[in-house]
A and B are shown apart, each in its own frame.
Chain A
Amino acid sequence: MNDPASKQNPAWAWSDPATVPGMNRRSFLRATVAAASGLAAVAALAPLRELKNFTSVDEFLQKHYTELTPEEMARVLKRIEDEVEKQYGLRPHVRDYKPMNGVEFVYCLNLTRCIGCRKCVHACVAENNQSRSPEIQYIRVLKMPNGTFDVEKAEHNYAPESVPEPGFYYMPVQCHQCKNPPCVKVCPVKATWKDDDGIVVIDYNWCIGCRYCEAACPYWARRFNFTAPSIPKERLNPNMSYLGNRPRQQGVMEKCHFCIQRTRAGRYPACVEVCPAGARKFGNILDPDSEVSHILKDKRVFVLKEEVGTLPRFFYYFEI
C-alpha cells in the first residue's frame, strides 16, 4: 500500500477515485460510455418523429363520459367535429344520444331467411365509419352445415357463385349486447358499460386498449384498432354519435352498438334495413306490439352459448 492516497484514508481509499492514479482515465471512459448510451437512448426514440395527431391536451384530460357535464360534452362534440372536418374535409354532425325511457332493445335473427349475402356486414361498415384497411367488420357471417351448431364447423370465408348454398344455413354474429356482459365485467377502467336501453357502449376516449374485453367476449364481437383506421373520405357517414359511429382512434376497442345514432333517434339499424331477406328484426321488447315481442312470444327462439350465462339480447330462430 505504498500509494500516497491510501495513507490519508486507508479504509475507503477505493471509493475515492480522484485520489488514485489511473482512475482519471477510467472516469473519463465511464463518462464517455454514459454519454454514448445517452445518445443512443435519444436516437432510439427517433421513430417518435413520425407521431402525428396522437392526442390533444383536451383529449388527454377528458373525463369519463358519465362525468361530463352537458357543457363539457358540448365542447367535446365540437372538438370531435373539428377533428373530423380537419381529417376528412367534411363537417359531421356529432350528437350525444341518450337512451330513451321505457325502451329495451332486442334483436332477432331468422336463420331460415338468412341467405348469407353479407349485405348486412357492408351496410354496417358504411353506416358506422369502420376502417377499410385494416378491415374492421362488426358482423361475421358463419356458413354452417345443416344439423349442427358447432361453430368449429363454420366457414367464414365462403365465396361461392351464389348464396344460399344447399345443405347449409347462415348465422351472422355480432355483439349481442348481453344483459350480463362479460366484457363490461372485465374492463379495468369502465370504458364500456351497459346503458339503460340495453346497448353495451364504449367511450372511445376512455379505453386504454388492454383488450381484456376482447378476450372475455364469448361471441368474438369486439374489434381492436391495431393501427390508425382509414376511412375513404367519400364514404364517410357524417351523421355521427359520440358513443357510436364517430371515427375511432388507434389503440381503442370498438364493436356493434346497434347503430346508436339511428336507434336512439327511433330508426332501425342499418343491418336491419339492408337485409334483402328480412331476416333481421329489431325493436323495443317493452312494447308488446313490436315485432320482436311477437317473435319472442311465438317463435322458437334460442341464444348462442347460453351456458356461459351472458343473457344476450340477440335471439336466433328457425321457421319451417
Chain B
Amino acid sequence: MNADTKTAAVLIASAVLFLALAAAFQRDLWGRPAALPAIPLVDPVFTNPAPTRVSAADLKRTGGDMTDFECNTCHELNKPGNLRFDDKGQVVLPKEHGELVMHHGRNDRNNNCFNCHNPLNREELLTKDGHKLRIWESTRLCASCHGPTYRDWELGVHGRMSGYWNRALGPFTRVDCASCHHPHAPIFAPRPPAPGPHPLRPAAVPPARQHASH
C-alpha cells in the first residue's frame, strides 16, 4: 500500500468516524446524569417553633382550658395535707395524683410538693420568703431557687427568645420556664432528632463510623 492509498484510506476512515460520532451524539447514548435520589420532605414537626410544652401561662394567655389548675375543687383551703415518705425519703404521691412523674433536682432531692406548692391553698405557689404566686406565675418561684439561671433568663441568655431582636421595631417573646421545663420533671426531655444530611455522592460516604479508640 503506497502512501497515496494510505492517505486516502485514512481520510475516508476519518470521515466515517466523524459521521458515526455525529450519529452517536444525536442519539445521546451516554453521560446522562444519574437521577437524584428522592429525599422525603421533612416532617413539619421539625420546623415548628412552638416550645416543648404548653405551660399554664401559655394556656392562660391563649384562653385555653384552665380546669386542670382549679385545685380547690378538691382541696380545702387552709387544710395542709400529710405527705407520706418512703424509706428513701422520697415523697409518696397520693393515688389521686399518681400520674405525676416527680424528678425535680439531682437525685430527686426536690420532690417535696410543699417546697413549691402552698399547703394552705393548693392553687397557689409559695416561695421560701413568703410570696404567694398563682400557678401561671411560676417563673418567679423558679427564680427564687435558680438565681443565676433567672438572671440569665432576664437578660435573654437562658431560654429562647423569639420575635424582634431590635426591640424598637417590634415585640419579642421570652419563653417562660414552664414552657420548656415541666415543673415536676424539669430536665429537658430527650427527643428524636430530625433526619441527618443526605449527601450528593452517597457511594463516597462511609457507613456510620464507630467511636473506636482515638
What 0/1 pattern do residues 149 to 174 of B give for CB contact below 8 A with A?
00010011111111111101110100
User: Are B21 and A43 in contact, CB atoms less than 8 angstroms apart?
Assistant: yes
A158 interfacial by beta-carbon distance below 8 Å: yes
Q: Which residue of chain A has the shortest Cβ distance to B207 in the bound complex?
A: A157
A 20-78 contacts with B by CB, 8 A: 22, 25-26, 29-30, 32-33, 36-37, 39-40, 42-44, 46-47
Residues of chain B within 8 A of A153, CB atoms compared = 211, 214
* Chain A residues with CB under 8 A of B28: 46-47
Asked if B165 and A158 make an inter-chain contact with CB atoms under 8 angstroms apart, the answer reads no
Distance of A268 Cα from B194 Cα, bound (Å): 22
Q: Is the CB of B170 within 8 A of A267?
A: yes
- How far is it, in angstroms, between the C-alpha of A305 and the C-alpha of B49 when the chains are bound? 31
* Cβ-based interface call for A125 (8 A): yes
The stretch of A11-19, A90-98, A288-296, A307-315 in contact with B is: A288-296
Q: Is B107 an interface residue (CB 8 A)?
A: no
- The number of chain A residues with a CB under 8 A from chain B is 76
Query: Chain A interface secondary structure, helix, strand, loop or mixed?
Result: mixed
In the docked arrangement, what's the CA distance between A277 and B52, Å? 8
State how many angstroms separate the Cβ of A264 from the closest Cβ of chain B: 9
A263–B165 Cα distance when bound, in Å, is 8
- Shortest Cβ gap from A318 to chain B (Å): 13
Chain A nearest CB, measured from B21 CB (Å): 4
How many residues of chain B get a CB closer than 8 Å to chain A's CBs? Answer: 64
B42, closest chain A residue (CB) = A122
Instruction: Tell me how far the C-beta of A197 lies from the nearest C-beta in chain B, rounded to whole angstroms.
Output: 11
Do A284 and B192 form a contact, CB below 8 Å, given A119-B47, A133-B36, A273-B160?
A: no
A266 interfacial by beta-carbon distance below 8 Å: yes
A-B contact count (CB 8 A): 195
**Which residues from 131 to 157 on chain B have a C-beta closer than 8 Å to any C-beta of chain A?**
152, 155-157
Q: How far is the CA of A122 from the CA of B165 in the complex (A)?
A: 21
Is the C-beta of B26 less than 8 angstroms from some C-beta in chain A? yes
The stretch of B8-16, B58-66, B77-85 in contact with A is: B8-16
Q: Which of B3-30 contact A (CB under 8 A)?
A: 4, 7-8, 11-12, 14-16, 18-19, 21-23, 25-26, 28
B8 partner residues in chain A, CB cutoff 8 A: 25-26, 29
**B198 x A100 contact (CB < 8 A):** no
User: Are A32 and B180 also in contact (CB < 8 A) when A40-B22, A160-B193 are?
Assistant: no
Contact of B98 with A by CB under 8 A: no
| A–B complex contacts, Cβ < 8 Å, 5 sampled | A40-B21, A43-B22, A119-B47, A157-B205, A267-B165
Binding site for A on B (CB under 8 A): 4, 7-8, 11-12, 14-16, 18-19, 21-23, 25-26, 28, 33, 36-39, 41-42, 46-49, 51-52, 152, 155-166, 168-170, 172, 175, 180, 188, 190-198, 200, 205, 208-209, 211, 214
Beyond known contacts A115-B188, A133-B36, A272-B161: 8 more, CB 8 A cutoff: A26-B11, A36-B22, A47-B28, A134-B36, A156-B196, A163-B193, A266-B165, A281-B161
Contact residues of A with B, CB < 8 Å? Answer: 22, 25-26, 29-30, 32-33, 36-37, 39-40, 42-44, 46-47, 100, 103, 113, 115-119, 121-123, 125-126, 132-135, 137, 140, 145, 150, 152-153, 155-164, 226-227, 232, 235, 263, 265-268, 272-278, 280-284, 290-291, 294-295, 298-299
